[in-house]
Amino acid sequence: MKLLMIIVDTDCREELEVLLRRNDVFTYSEIPNAHGVGQSGVRMGSAAHRDLVIFFTVIEEDRVAALKETICTYCEACAKTMKIIQWSVEEIV
C-alpha cells in the first residue's frame, strides 16, 4: 500500500477529483485552504498568493503508476502543476 499526498492549486481541485474517480480512487481526505511557502513561492490565500488543496489517499502499490501517469498527462496538457509525494504504508488499523 502507498500513501499519496497530492498538492494542487485550489482552482485544480475539481479536476483532480475527476482524475481520482477515473482511476477508481473513491476514498481520500482533503485539506482545503492550505497555506505555506515552498519552491513555487508563498501560498497564503490572497489574490497574489493563492490557496492550495492537499489530498491524501491510500491505494495499492500496483495502482500508483497509472494514477501518477494520469495526473502527469493532465498537467502537461493543461500546463498545470500538481505535486505528488508518496510513502509506504505498513499497516492500517
CATH at residue 60: 3.30.70.120
Q: What is the pTM of this model?
A: 0.80
Q: Is 93 inside a domain boundary? A: no
What CA–CA distances, in Å, run from 14 to 9, 19, 60? 10, 9, 23
Q: Could you give the number of structural domains in the chain? A: 1
Grid coordinates 481541485 are at which residue? 13
Torsion of CA 75, 4, 45, 16, to 10 degrees: 40
Please report, in tens digits, the pLDDT of each residue of the chain (93 residues total): 999 999 888 888 888 999 999 999 999 999 988 766 666 665 555 444 467 889 999 999 999 999 999 988 887 776 677 889 999 999 889
Range of the domain at 12: 2-88
